Amino acid sequence: MIQRRLYDLSFVLVLLLGLVSWNSCKKPETPKPPAVIPELSIQDVSQLRTTTETTMKFYLYINKAITNSVSVDYVLVDGTAKSPKDFAAASGTISIPANQTQVELDVQIKGDSLNLRQPNLQFTIQLSNPQFCTIATASAIGTIVTEDGSYLPTDNTGYTSPSQYPGYSLVWSDEFSGSSLNLTSWNQEIGNGTGGWGNNEREYYTNSPKNIFLSNGNLIIEARKENISGFNYTSGRMTTQNKKQFKYGRIDIRAKLPVGKGMWPALWMLGSNISSIGWPACGETDIMELIGTYPRRVSGTMHWKSVSGSDVHKGANYILSAGDFSQQFHVFSVVWSKDTIKWYVDNQLYLTNTIADVEAANYPFNADQFLIFNVAVGGNWPGSPDTTTVFPQRMFVDYVRVFQLSKR
């Protein structure tokens, strides 16, 4: 009987040791999938580029918190933004902890010491291999905003006028060599005027550095396709009204012009008494206008009020023998004296108007006028832009110089 009990006890011990050994060899249980599988998404991000390195934050989120941690693999993919020049390359796995719905993914954006203005740069974050979730949005775009950069170089080739003329003295100039517009000389107009400045123009003028800025020794007026105050385009219009006005002399403006359907850059003058007698009685002197459909042609014109009260004008065109006005700088000039105005491109005379041209009407061009520089978009004369018109469009102005006869 004792032996039997010892045998039974030995059998139990062997059985227990075997059970312990089996339990110790079992593989750990894998977490069970959640009853409800959450959906994971990622959002696009835009961020202004600066002169120093910054962090662009992306947010990954699920639509329902669960008791499991969820994860996904990611990789940054080059687009117009390239690594490592524009951003730091990265890849890996990112997790959203249990009972949470969101996590940040940081991407290092490289700085640009020049702050170059160029089309915005983009890269992609691509997601794959989800764990305990499904992917609702598999990728996101990172946009590095560079379209508002302050530095914009341009080719400086083209005609350059003399810095002095015999018998003339330089009475005022702007070489646009600073970092910002000289507001003691210039006004920046805002809005669309009355009826698109009377021409059914399509732009909204702003005083933003997006539309008017100085860079590399040039004034730049930039027209953009963007919505503001119900208008589809923005641009810049600046004047010297009540700040700088002139009567007679030689005016030289060195500029490179935008071209394309619907573009209408202009360098011109209005009579300083416009506020009291209105237009066209004040007189208008168009030093240069270009209609973008005709990129090789500019026009010079003067407007005045007829005896019957309507607008009357007389002008002429100057056509380049080769190339167009967007490819190089040209100098647009008027030589203005009592009863006579002459128009030049690169010192080539192409139009002369005199007091005799207004006949019986009042001749308003023996009085002070102020300068206007602008880039219009659309209007009665150029028509509206179409799908062939590329934006942004820019007018570069190297300098404006006003010379008058030296006093003897």
Question: Which sequence positions are flagged as catalytic?
Answer: 284, 289
Q: How far is CA 268 from CA 149, 286, 294, 350, in A?
A: 28, 4, 19, 17
End-to-end Cα spacing for the chain: 147
Helix (H, G, I), strand (E, B), or coil: what is residue 64? coil
Q: What are phi and psi of 169, to 5 degrees?
A: -120, 145
Q: How far apart, in whole angstroms, are the C-alpha atoms of residue 248 and residue 244?
A: 13
Put residue 24 in one of left, alpha, beta given phi > 0 → left and psi -120 to 50 → alpha.
Answer: alpha
Q: How far is CA 18 from CA 5, 9, 24, 229, 301, in A?
A: 20, 14, 10, 82, 108
Q: At 95, list the tokens.
A: 């997790």
Q: How far is 271 from 277, CA to CA, in rounded Å?
A: 9
* Amino acid code (one letter) for 103: V
- 89 CB-contact burial (10 Å; exposed 0-12 / middle 13-18 / buried 19+): middle
Residue with tokens 């080719």: 155
Phi, psi for residue 353 in degrees, rounded to 5: -120, 145
Nearest-5° Cα angle at 76, 74 to 78: 155
Residue 139 tokens read as 């990728």
Q: Is 66 exposed, middle or buried (0-12, 13-18, 19+ CB in 10 A)?
A: buried
Whether the link from the prior residue into 265 is cis, omega within 30° of 0, is no
